[in-house]
Structures are given as C-alpha cells and as structure tokens.
Structure 1
Amino acid sequence: MANFTNEDLAFTGYSQTVDSNNPKNYNAVYVDKTEECEVIHFCNQFLERYKVPQTKASFQKVESFLQNSLLEHQVYREELLDWIASNWIKL
C-alpha cells in the first residue's frame, strides 16, 4: 500500500487547513487540488489502484499530472484518475 506523506510532495503552497467540524471524505466525487491532505490521498490512491511503481518518483508524477494545466478545471475524482492513467506513458 502506498503511504507517502507531505514530505514527499514536489509542489508547495497547498492549504493545510482541515475543518474538524466537517471531516473530508477523501473518496468523494470531487478532488480539492489545493488541499495538501487531499492531494496526498489522491496520489496514494492512484498508486494503489494502478499498476505503476510504488516509488516517490511515481507519487510525484501523479501530483504533477494533478497540477497539470490540462486538468486545471477538472475536479471529478474518477475522471482525474482515468486521465492520469491514460496519459501515464505519453507525458
């Protein structure tokens, strides 16, 4: 199981605010690409779901795809996962 943390992120500037009155459902339909915890969960989720190397480099590659300008307006979890998987080798 992939278990990378904030120390493994390539990008900085994510929001670290978590509303304790409204815990995030990290399996929700939408992904908040500005929230550190959600980005970490999404990247780990991708590594677990797809047969890619379970390495820090792969974790950061998922993060880079997630922050790619081509996906700037995409927030649906399943569509993000599918797009990244489809473009894993291409980009």
Structure 2
Amino acid sequence: MPNFTADDLMNKDYSPTVDGGDNPKYRGVLDRNKVDKTEEYEVVYFCNKFLEKHSFKEKATYQKVERLLRHKDIKDEDDRQKLIKWIEDNWNK
C-alpha cells in the first residue's frame, strides 16, 4: 500500500484526532463503510487505499484523490463505496 501521510495532504484543515463527527452507531461493518472526511487519519487511509486499488504511486495522484474527495457534488456523501465509485467515474473530468 502507498505510504503517504498527513504531511502529504494539500489541505491542512482536518482534525488530527477523532473529532466527534463520527456517528457512535457506526461500529464494526458500518464504521468500515463510512468515511469521515474531516478526520485526517480517515482521509489519509482512504487516499492510500484508493491508490493501492489502482496501482498509483505518485504524490500528485494522492492529492488528486484528496481533491476529488472534497468535491462539492459529494460533499454530504460518506459511504466509502459510493465515494470510490464517484471518484473513479469523475477521474478524467
């Protein structure tokens, strides 16, 4: 898996710890299915896993995933699979 860190993110406004935005009902499977896009560690993990899935290795690509993850069209989406699909579908737009 790519090993980019929070230092490689373009934006620096993420919470470095759990910020309370997580729904306490999201445990186990639900927690794995949701992405809190305000928490640094979740964004780092999501971006690295996306790169791994698509065999990308460049920092610029890591940052592109981050940028797309913040797109206004998916602002309120937190479902991991829907986010992945949207980013894949909009990668070249």
Same fold at TM > 0.5: yes
Q: Which runs of 5+ in 1 are unaligned?
A: none
Q: CA RMSD in A?
A: 2.0
TM-score by length of 1: 0.84
The answer for the alignment partner of 1:57 in structure 2 is 60
Question: How many residue pairs align between the two structures?
Answer: 85
Amino acid at match of 1:34: T
Structure 1 residue 67 corresponds to structure 2 residue 79: no
- Larger fraction in helix: 2
Instruction: Tell me what 2:34 maps to.
Output: 30
Residue number in structure 2 paired with 1:87: 90
- TM-score of the superposed pair, with normalisation by structure 2: 0.82
8 A contact 1:15–1:34 mirrored in 2? yes
Superposition deviation, residue 18 in structure 1: 3.7
1:5 is matched by which residue type in structure 2? T
| Alignment match, 1:40 | 44
Distance in 1 between the 2:33 and 2:18 partners? Answer: 18
Q: Unaligned regions of 5+ residues in structure 2, if any?
A: 20-26
- Describe the superposition over 1:25-63 as per-residue Cα deviations: whole angstroms up to 9, x where unpaired: 7x7111000000000000001001124x31000000000
Larger mean CA deviation between 59-68 and 42-51 belongs to 42-51
Partner Cα separation in structure 1 for residue 88 and residue 54 of structure 2: 7
Give the Cα separation in 2 of the matches to 1:86 and 1:2: 22
Tell me, in whole angstroms, the C-alpha distance in 2 between the residues paired with 1:66 and 1:54: 18
- Structure 1 residue ranges, 4+ long, deviating more than 3 angstroms after superposition: none
